Structure 1
Amino acid sequence: MRAAYITQNGEAKDIKVGELPKPTITSDEVLIKVNVVAVNHVDTFVRSGSFKTDTDFPFVVGRDAVGQVQEVGSDVTGFSKGEWVWTNSMGYSGRQGVTSEYAAIPAARLFHVPEHVEPTQLVAAVHSAATAAIVLTKVFGAVSGTSILVEGAAGHVGTKFVQMAHVMGLKVVTTSNTSDFDLLDRLGSDQCLNYDKSLKKQLSKADIQKVDYVVDTSGKVQLQDNLQALKPGGKVCLITAPKNNRFAFDVRQFYTQSKTISGFVISNAPLDQIRDAAKFINRLMADGYLLEDSILEKSYEDAAWAHKKLEKNSKKKKILLKF
């Protein structure tokens, strides 16, 4: 089968496209014919070796795929040949990636594409959607009636946070370029702030001045500004970091108000969280949510190009590789 793979950790140019053996499945796996693969920043971290994880070479890159069932393991129930399915947790922790014509997926990590949902649009969204789902439900434990500040809310991850928080009954405050205010209003933002202006000053004049939760999708907002936006007992979740890898904040104000700072990367999420997130994602997508990403489709032959573009942050559209 054709695949995009590496033989050692290295640069984007080291990704090879060629023939690898077609995988054989175990009793608890499903063989899928891959249709489209999403390319994520974390894929570049795994490929380069900056994210340390078990990797068997030759290693197929990529973690998120949508395709059709070809063969089902003897112990697997609930999947039939020809069904459209998706996965978003391959390509790390000893599991081969999915940028290949065929992929063997553990049944526990495979989910049905909801009826009437376009598979390509789905796979573009599942990585960011799963991050938002787990942060909201597991890290924050958010409940209806609370409030959240989503910074950089018009991006791939931000829009998922906005929609999910809105559906869950939270009041949603967002920061973005003013040109994105209409979009965010439609997605569920209750209060749109300009990310080019002072967060503190804008909140001081806003209807919602303090929130229960803050997530910055950009890594560009000062941690102290986010902590100041929190109510006592509030929580900040870090899903990215500033380029200088440094934060400074008022420690006394932080601990005396019982605030919390958590970090999250989906690669560390246990399987039960991945599965719960998938159920939530499928329900929302079936109702038309989470499917707004702008897409750039390329061939799987362009895997090295895609990794290079992501590392330079030179493409705003979600890059998908098609077989």
Structure 2
Amino acid sequence: MSFLSGVIMKAAYIEKNGPASTIKIVQLPVPELKTDEILVKVKAVSVNFVDTFVRAGSFKTKQAFPFVIGRDAVGTVSAIGKDTSDFQIGDLVWTNSMGYDGRMGTSSEFVAVPAKRLFRAPEVDPVKLVASVHSSATAAIVLSDVLQVKSDQQILIEGGAGHVGTKFIELAKSLGLEVTTTSNPNDFEKLQQLGTDKTFDYHKSIQGSYDYIVDTSGKVNLQDNLDHLNLYGKIALITAPKDNQFNFRVRQMYTKSQSINGFVISHATLSQIQSAGKILNDNFEAGRLLTDEIIKMPLDQAAKAHQLLENQQTKGKRIVLTME
């Protein structure tokens, strides 16, 4: 990333991988715009677990230092590369695929985003939008591309009350699936309001049979899930158990033509990101995917935000850093 000479901005960045204390808030030059990029004046950025992994170096990805942290942002178009024509100055836009794979992050007053990774934002609360996009895009890609779900079939979403679980519920219902969830009983009413057809206590054994199962928790025995999966059924894993081990009966799985699919959004293709962007905007416009409880913090508190997330002190809320 090259920078504009003499034009500076506030940014949260690191000079090397390490703990949250390595995050600095100082002035950096505004990035120089490439012909296929859009310069975005950032309003807010979300803080996700993967941001802490990239910062710490536990998620290995291409980085250039000083490295601006963060991947998701919402803001307004400030300048336009000469080879782009899909945006206008002042457009409210969002992105969710910066800050890794060689791309500079979003936790700064300005960020240069490839036009292909940028989406116009519908007329919704921009803070709620940016809090949603990481989990929502994960759910959108898993449902539409990894599982390739079909309407009128049955899906079990394990850990339905989590950030990504709630997004799976709303998107699965919008696609015409019958949705069953597992969660703490205290969350049953919330999940029913989101569209869940059946709710089960996650402490108890799995009930029913399903065409698709999504494990968002990593706490369910894989064989138990396979036992409740229909012929040709598919399982999606977006996390893993703490011991990184699963045992299952292979013959049963392959003779029923079942499949086990892993997914992490950091390896999503550009076409998957773009398809998810359209799905998300359609749902945002319909008033879906915007139910997260949010902790707003100024950019200056980026290190504290990472610490809160790593210490599991957010109480189920999403952290959003604002430029105000």
Q: Secondary structure at 1:37's aligned position in 2? A: strand
Which 5+ residue runs of structure 1 have no aligned equivalent? 204-208
For the pair 1:169 / 2:176, whether they are aligned, the reply is: yes
For 1:126, the equivalent position in structure 2 comes to 133
Look up the SS of the partner of 2:30 in the other structure: coil
Correspondences of 1:276-315 after superposition (within 5 Å): 276-315=275-314
> Do structure 1's residue 108 and structure 2's residue 116 form an aligned pair?
yes
Match of 1:72 among 63, 80, 90: 80
Q: For residue 47 of structure 1, what is the aligned residue in structure 2?
A: 55
Please state whether the residue corresponding to 1:4 is helix, strand or coil. strand
Partners of 2:15 and 2:153 in 1: how far apart? 48
How far the C-alpha of 1:229 sits from its partner, in A, is: 1.7
Who is 1:181 aligned against? 188
Please say which of residues 301-310 and 66-75 is displaced more in the overlay. Answer: 301-310
Query: How many Å separate the matches in 2 of 1:273 and 1:220?
Result: 27
Q: Post-superposition shift, 1:14?
A: 0.9
Q: Which of 8, 12, 24 pairs up with 1:4?
A: 12
Distance 1:86 1:164 in 2: 19
Shift in Å, 1:309:
1.7
Task: Name the amino acid aligned to 2:153.
Answer: T
CA distance in 2, matches of 1:228, 1:302: 46
* TM-score normalised to structure 2 length: 0.95
Deviation at 1:252, TM superposition (A): 2.2
**Counterpart in the other structure of 1:29:** 37
TM-score, scaled relative to structure 1: 0.95
- The CA RMSD over aligned residues, in Å, is 0.9
Runs of 4+ in 1 over 4 A off after TM superposition: none
Q: Report SS of the residue matched to 2:54.
A: helix
Give 1:278's aligned amino acid.
Answer: G
How far the C-alpha of 1:251 sits from its partner, in A, is: 1.9
Q: Secondary structure of the equivalent of 1:2?
A: strand
**Where does residue 264 of structure 2 map in the other structure?**
265
Q: Which residue of 2 aligns with 1:192?
A: 199
Find out whether 1:149 has 2:148 as its counterpart. Answer: no
- Deviation for aligned residue 1:72: 0.7
The total of aligned residue pairs comes to 314
Give the deviation of 1:312 after TM superposition.
2.0
1:59 and 2:67 correspond: yes
Shift of 1:126: 0.4
Listed as ranges, the gaps of 5+ residues in structure 2 are: 1-8
Summarize deviations over 1:145-188 as a string: whole Å, max 9, x none: 11110011011100100010001001111011111111111111
Identity rate, percent? 55
